[in-house]
């Protein structure tokens, strides 16, 4: 027994050393949050790894309840003046009551993202299982299960291929004839049928009938096909069972599709889609699918490497490492967590797919928390914070496609609710691109969802310097978002300076319906600034630009209150004891850029507000606080937030972030936060190691992106910067900062620059 344990331990250590970027377990998953995720943007799978009964729960990202619907309440705008009057008169309850009656989305709720189905494999009695390992290798995006049963070594590998559009499951034994199993498809959707197609394919077809809280009938049709791509031994399909006997090598492919075409059209044919996808595999085998998958995945994943040091705990199972992180020293888990965020983004957001929803792509519940939809008062945006900075700009594309849809549906919401031009999105959306205020006036009427999303369009330009994208895709949508606020902003009758304010709105989910929440003003200023800059770069719209500049200067500024805090509202009414998870008024610190060391009073006030809110919160809240503390240049506090997040209370055994329950935003927020600790570029300067914690005295990162079109690599040792590499992608001047040292130099497109920090002169020097 002891020897076996020793061998097992040795094997784990060796495995870890050979593949340090993997999640590892010595037990099968007993529940969904222990299963391991794979995905190709559109299809997602969760593999449990039970030797005797394998289970892969799967999703397709367009399977939702409901049907095309516009959520509009026509004529709502006539209540807007009265709402404002009540709020200015301090009658919040009356205003919320009126709004709940006359100013909300129809229906009041939005739709739910749905699970698709389950693939299960029942094996002939395997007897005692030894040497069990289950893993997810982030270097190849392949999840494996290996074990020995009756002297036979079994191996299963699952991946989701973006180039080929399918999930691939390979099963092997190291002895002939020892692979015997029965595979079945199933679905939690009651209206479904199963049938055999050709000699080698099982089909699951149905329609969503489940209804969300909207009570709108569901109409989406779906179909999945499980095809045996390669096998030896015998294959027989018996009714619902796909039976393999006497084999040692089998490759199954799973294809799934729905009738979704666009948010207003669900007339596509899932059967045709699957037929086409599977036809595309005709000339392929496991080896070629594997190669194409790995090549595609690594073309994105390998762009960034991060080394924060190895650790003893690498030999432990991943869930044990999470449990030990706070008390121990496991810098490698932090880099694994960082890369896991990148892995998840590549797996759930690829061109052509839906954007990452609250659970990315992975959901096994018919009534998932918050519908597993798109909450846009922090969660959807957080999902995309790492996209540009960690060199995954392509993964941002599904969000841009959704923003384009929202600018069309949000045009009607602007008209119907505000009698305004442009477009507006409130705090949630779904597959049908609802933009009207949902749930309740006390948090649903929040007008800056679309404006916040526009920051992502700007970032894509800022990081790439791609003027074509700015002109053709970003600017028209940003401009229309700004046009909404030009109509919507209102002069505050209580203000002597004639401040323009936003309202009715709210500071996300805190304090109810108000006039003038701080966050709105920060977001609108940010949107206007980017529109002004974009119009200058593109050399267009001078009058519009001038008008924006004028209005921008009149928007109510940030206020510092009685506790030295940054005020969450226009009135100095913050509760210093509140530990509310949203810290919305710090938007200007992060992800905005108007509160920096160059605005010392606001910078100190933001810090005060964050201290008052404390170090707790839901998963995403902690992740946001990593970013905040990084922007406050306090590496140790940022690290404290990371270690508060990397606990079993906030991180599930499979490293999924948990609110609770599972919500993926915190994964992406943490990846962004770790990046912000190492490098920032939101002020026009590439700021090197702005918040390096003492826990990471030495390390190396390569391939991060900075605004201005740069790729940045860094090395540090004994808590000090040693070398920097900068690749200039757009030939812009480069400005670096390390501590209080700055260095500026001209660059040429495509050139690599090496910079050292000279410890004697304490200066940054460009190497010739
Ligand atoms: C917002 C947050 C909640 C949760 C939900 C999905 O409403 O306040 O904490 O994350 O989105």
Query: What per-residue confidence (pLDDT) applies to 141?
Result: 98
Q: How far apart are CA 44 and CA 347, in angstroms?
A: 8
pLDDT in tens, 619-659: 999 999 999 999 999 999 999 999 999 999 999 999 999 99
CB 380 within 8 A of CB 663: no
Does residue 717 register a pLDDT over 50? yes
Q: How far does the centroid of ligand 1 lie from the alpha carbon of residue 349, in Å?
A: 21
Spatial distance between the Cα atoms of 402 and 360, rounded to a whole number of angstroms: 15
591 preceded by a cis bond (ω within 30 of 0): yes
Task: Decide if pLDDT at 297 tops 70.
Answer: yes
What whole-number distance in Å separates Cα of residue 203 and Cα of residue 572? 62
How far, in Å, CA of 3 to CA of 1, rounded?
5
Question: What average pLDDT does range 224-244 have in this prediction?
Answer: 97
For residue range 570-597, list pLDDT tens digits in order.
999 999 999 999 999 999 999 999 999 9
Would you say residue 9 has pLDDT above 80? no
Cβ proximity of 363 and 114 under 8 Å: yes
pLDDT at 18 > cutoff 80 = no
Ligand 1 centroid to Cα of residue 375, in Å, is 7
pLDDT in tens, 188-197: 999 999 999 9
Q: Ligand 1 mean position to 82 CA, how many Å?
A: 29
The residue-averaged pLDDT of 318-334 equals 96
Q: Quote the pLDDT of residue 10.
A: 39
Q: Is 718 left (phi over 0), alpha (psi -120 to 50) or beta?
A: left
Mean per-residue pLDDT, 361-371: 98
- The answer on pLDDT for 169 being more than 50 is yes
Residue 620 phi, psi dihedral angles, 5° rounding: -65, -30
Vertex 206, ends 37 and 268: CA angle to 5°? Answer: 85
SS3 state at 256: strand
The string of pLDDT tens digits covering residues 258-276 is 999 999 999 999 999 999 9
pLDDT at 8: 37
Q: What is the tens place of the pLDDT at every residue in 674-705?
A: 999 999 999 999 999 999 999 999 999 999 99
Contact at 8 Å (CB) between 234 and 245? yes
Render pLDDT for 533-576 as a digit per residue (tens, 0 to 9). 999 999 999 999 999 999 999 999 999 999 999 999 999 999 99
Mutate to test the pocket of ligand 1, among 359, 378, 442 (most ligand atoms within 8 A of CB): 378
Query: Measured between alpha carbons, how far is 705 from 286 in angstroms, rounded to an integer?
Result: 35
- The confidence band for 328, taking pLDDT boundaries of 50, 70 and 90, is confident
* Lookup: tokens for 404: 């384009």
For range 370-393, the mean pLDDT: 98
Selection from 353, 371, 340, 390 nearest residue 44 by Cα: 353
Distance in Å, CA 428 to ligand 1 centroid: 10
pLDDT at position 613: 98
| pLDDT over 70, % of the chain | 98
Centre of ligand 1 from the C-alpha of residue 110, in Å: 14
Q: Which residues line ligand 1 (CB under 6 A)?
A: 358, 370, 375, 379, 509, 581-582, 618, 620, 659, 663
Centroid of ligand 1 to alpha carbon of 443 (angstroms):
11
Task: Report the pLDDT averaged over residues 608-621.
Answer: 98
CA distance linking residue 274 with residue 255, whole number of Å: 6
Answer whether 133's CB lies under 8 Å from 157's CB: no
- Nearest atom in ligand 1 to 443's CA: 7
Ligand 1 atom nearest residue 358's Cα? 6
Q: What pLDDT band is residue 11 in, cutting at 50, 70 and 90?
A: very low
CA separation for the pair 17, 11 (Å, rounded):
10
Q: Is the pLDDT of residue 116 over 80?
A: yes
Percent of the chain with pLDDT over 90: 97
Atom of ligand 1 nearest to the CA of 508: 8
Confidence (pLDDT) at 20 = 81
Atom of ligand 1 nearest to the CA of 621: 9
Euclidean distance between CA atoms 459 and 470, whole angstroms: 10
Q: Per-residue pLDDT for 17 more than 60?
A: no
Closest to 225 measured CA to CA, from 253, 267, 193: 253
pLDDT bucket at 15, cuts 50 / 70 / 90: very low
211: pLDDT confidence band, cut at 50, 70 and 90?
Answer: very high
> Hey, what are 554's tokens?
């009149």
3-state class of 233 per DSSP? coil
**Average pLDDT of the chain, as a whole number:** 96
Mean per-residue pLDDT, 700-729: 98
Which pLDDT score is estimated for 306?
98
Cβ–Cβ contacts within 10 Å for residue 6, how many? 10
CA distance 145 to 50: 8
């Amino acid at each position: 027994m002891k020897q076996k344990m020793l061998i097992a331990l040795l094997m784990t250590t060796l495995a870890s050393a050979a593949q340090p970027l993997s999640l590892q377990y010595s037990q099968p998953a007993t529940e969904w949050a222990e299963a391991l995720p794979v995905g190709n943007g559109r299809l997602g799978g969760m593999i449990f790894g039970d030797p005797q009964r394998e289970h892969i729960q799967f999703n397709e990202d367009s399977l939702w309840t409901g049907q095309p619907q516009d959520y509009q309440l026509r004529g709502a705008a006539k209540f807007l003046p009265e709402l404002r009057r009540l709020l200015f008169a301090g009658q919040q309850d009356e205003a919320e009551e009126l709004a709940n009656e006359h100013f909300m989305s129809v229906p009041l709720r939005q739709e739910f993202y749905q699970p698709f189905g389950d693939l299960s494999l029942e094996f002939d009695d395997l007897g005692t299982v030894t040497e069990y390992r289950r893993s997810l290798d982030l270097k190849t995006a392949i999840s494996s299960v290996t074990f020995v049963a009756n002297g036979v070594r079994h191996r299963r590998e699952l991946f989701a291929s973006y180039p080929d559009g399918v999930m691939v499951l390979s099963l092997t034994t190291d002895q002939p004839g020892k692979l015997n199993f029965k595979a079945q498809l199933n679905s939690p959707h009651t209206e479904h049928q199963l049938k055999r197609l050709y000699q080698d394919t099982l089909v699951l077809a149905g329609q969503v009938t489940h209804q969300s809280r909207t009570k709108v009938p569901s109409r989406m049709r779906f179909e999945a096909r499980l095809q045996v791509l390669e096998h030896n031994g015998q294959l027989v399909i018996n009714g619902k069972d796909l039976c393999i006997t006497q084999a040692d090598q089998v490759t199954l492919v799973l294809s799934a599709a729905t009738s979704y075409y666009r948010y207003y059209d669900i007339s596509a044919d899932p059967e045709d889609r699957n037929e086409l996808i599977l036809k595309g595999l005709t000339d392929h085998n496991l080896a070629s699918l594997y190669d194409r998958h790995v090549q595609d995945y690594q073309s994105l994943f390998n762009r960034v490497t991060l080394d924060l040091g190895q650790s003893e705990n690498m030999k432990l199972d991943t869930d044990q490492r999470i449990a030990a992180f706070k008390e121990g020293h496991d810098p490698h888990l932090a880099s694994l967590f960082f890369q896991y965020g990148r892995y998840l983004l590549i797996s759930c957001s690829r061109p052509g797919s839906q954007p990452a929803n609250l659970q990315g792509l992975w959901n096994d519940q018919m009534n998932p928390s918050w519908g597993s939809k798109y909450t846009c008062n922090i969660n959807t945006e957080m999902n995309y914070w790492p996209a540009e900075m960690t060199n995954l700009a392509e993964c941002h594309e599904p969000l841009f496609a959704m923003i384009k849809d929202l600018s069309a549906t949000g045009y009607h919401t602007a008209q119907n609710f505000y009698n305004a031009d442009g477009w507006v999105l409130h705090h949630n959306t779904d597959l049908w691109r609802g933009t009207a205020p949902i749930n309740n006036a006390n948090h649903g009427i929040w007008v800056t969802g679309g404006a916040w999303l526009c920051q992502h369009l700007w970032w894509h330009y800022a990081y790439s310097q791609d003027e074509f994208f700015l002109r053709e895709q970003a600017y028209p949508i940003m401009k229309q978002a700004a046009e909404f606020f030009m109509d919507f902003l209102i002069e505050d009758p209580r203000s002597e300076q004639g401040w323009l304010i936003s309202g009715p709105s709210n500071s996300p989910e805190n304090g109810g319906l108000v006039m003038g929440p701080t966050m709105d003003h920060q977001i609108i200023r940010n949107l206007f600034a980017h529109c002004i800059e974009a119009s200058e770069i593109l050399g267009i719209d001078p009058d519009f630009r001038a008008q924006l500049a004028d209005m921008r200067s009149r928007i109510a500024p940030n206020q510092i209150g009685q506790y030295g805090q940054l005020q969450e509202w226009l009135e100095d009414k913050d509760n210093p004891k509140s530990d509310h998870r949203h810290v919305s008024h710090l938007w200007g610190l992060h992800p905005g850029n108007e509160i920096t060391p160059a605005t010392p009073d606001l910078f100190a006030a933001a810090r005060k507000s964050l201290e008052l809110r404390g170090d707790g919160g839901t998963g995403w809240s902690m992740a946001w606080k990593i970013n905040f503390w990084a922007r406050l240049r306090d590496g140790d506090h940022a690290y404290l937030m990371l270690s508060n997040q990397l606990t079993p209370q906030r991180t599930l055994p499979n490293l999924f972030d948990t609110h609770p329950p599972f919500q993926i935003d915190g994964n992406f927020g943490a990846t962004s936060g770790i990046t912000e600790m190492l490098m920032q570029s939101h002020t026009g300067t590439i700021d090197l190691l702005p918040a390096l914690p003492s826990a990471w005295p030495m390390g190396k990162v390569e391939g991060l992106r900075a605004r201005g079109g740069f790729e940045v690599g860094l090395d540090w040792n004994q808590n000090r910067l040693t070398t920097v590499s900068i690749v200039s992608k757009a030939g812009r001047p480069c400005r670096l900062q390390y501590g209080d040292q700055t260095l500026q130099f001209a660059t040429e497109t495509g050139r690599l620059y090496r910079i050292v920090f000279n410890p004697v002169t304490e200066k940054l020097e460009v190497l010739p």
